[in-house]
C-alpha cells in the first residue's frame, strides 16, 4: 500500500469592505465554492481572508467570488 500525500497551499488575500461576521460568512461561502478550496477563514477586522487549497488558485476566480459576495479583492 502506498500512502498518498496531499499538499495543501495556504494563501492570504486582502479584501476591502468587510465590516462584520455576516461579511466574513458571505466572502467565505463564495470562495468555498471554488474547486480545490478546502478551508476559508475571513477576518473583517483585518480584511484578511486565508484560503487553504490543494493547488494554486486563479486570482481572477477568487476576485470573482469576492465580487459576487459584494466586496473587493485588493
Q: Could you state, in order of their start, the residue ranges of all structural domains in the chain?
A: 18-73
Q: What is the Cα–Cα distance from 56 to 69, expressed in whole angstroms? A: 21
* Res 7: pLDDT: 83
Q: What residues are paired with 65 via a beta bridge?
A: none
The residue whose grid cell reads 461579511 is 23
pLDDT tens for 42-64 read 999 999 999 999 999 999 999 99
Residues above pLDDT 90, as percent of the chain = 91
Residues above pLDDT 70, as percent of the chain = 92
Quick check: helix, strand or coil at residue 62? helix
- Given the candidates 3.30.70.120, 1.10.10.10, 3.40.50.300, 3.30.70.100, the CATH classification of the domain at 18-73 is 3.30.70.100
| Backbone phi and psi for residue 8, each to the nearest 5 degrees, phi listed first | -110, 145
pLDDT tens for 7-33 read 899 999 999 999 999 999 999 999 999
Amino acid at each position: 500500500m502506498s500512502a498518498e500525500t496531499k499538499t495543501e497551499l495556504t494563501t492570504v488575500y486582502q479584501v476591502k469592505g468587510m465590516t462584520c461576521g455576516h461579511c466574513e460568512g458571505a466572502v467565505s461561502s463564495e470562495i468555498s465554492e471554488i474547486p480545490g478550496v478546502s478551508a476559508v477563514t475571513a477576518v473583517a477586522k483585518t480584511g484578511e481572508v486565508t484560503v487553504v487549497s490543494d493547488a494554486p488558485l486563479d486570482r481572477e476566480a477568487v476576485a470573482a467570488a469576492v465580487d459576487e459576495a459584494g466586496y473587493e479583492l485588493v
